[in-house]
Amino acid sequence: EAGVAQSPRYKIIEKRQSVAFWCNPISGHATLYWYQQILGQGPKLLIQFQNNGVVDDSQLPKDRFSAERLKGVDSTLKIQPAKLEDSAVYLCASSLPGTAAYNEQFFGPGTRLTVL
């Protein structure tokens, strides 16, 4: 079974530029999550999708971050414009439908973003 795929694995940009990350979840997983993991901290949930609908985006900085999952499969996370404090690893995870507490989340390898 293929795991969660993410690309690119690494990205370096200058502040005020835009960047996009892509995630393809495990086949059949209706729930998709994006996390931000700043160096030295644990992952923080940015947004959760159930199919193509948003379940929770309470911690997404909506003035600069956006995410979509138009067909309920793969997803993109965009930052526009980027700030220095956005430097982090962005993790995508997927799970079967249901609450995050009940169903195991499977994580991708992450995209490491460096903002200069």
Partner 1 sequence: AQSVTQLGSHVSVSEGALVLLRCNYSSSVPPYLFWYVQYPNQGLQLLLKYTSAATLVKGINGFEAEFKKSETSFHLTKPSAHMSDAAEYFCAVSANTGNQFYFGTGTSLTVIP
Q: Which of 30, 43, 79, 82 binds partner 1 (CB under 8 A)?
A: 43
Residue 116, CA distances (Å) to 17, 41, 77 in order: 10, 20, 19
> Is residue 55 near partner 1 by the rule CB under 8 A?
yes
Q: Which of 1, 42, 63, 70 binds partner 1 (CB under 8 A)?
A: 42
> Is residue 40 near partner 1 by the rule CB under 8 A?
yes
HSE of 81 in the Cβ direction (CA atoms, 13 Å)? 7
> Is residue 27 near partner 1 by the rule CB under 8 A?
no
CB of 15 to partner 1, least distance (A): 25
Residue 84 has φ and ψ, to the nearest 5°, of -55, -40
Binding site for partner 1 (CB under 8 A): 3-4, 40-45, 48, 55-56, 58, 91, 93, 99-102, 104-110
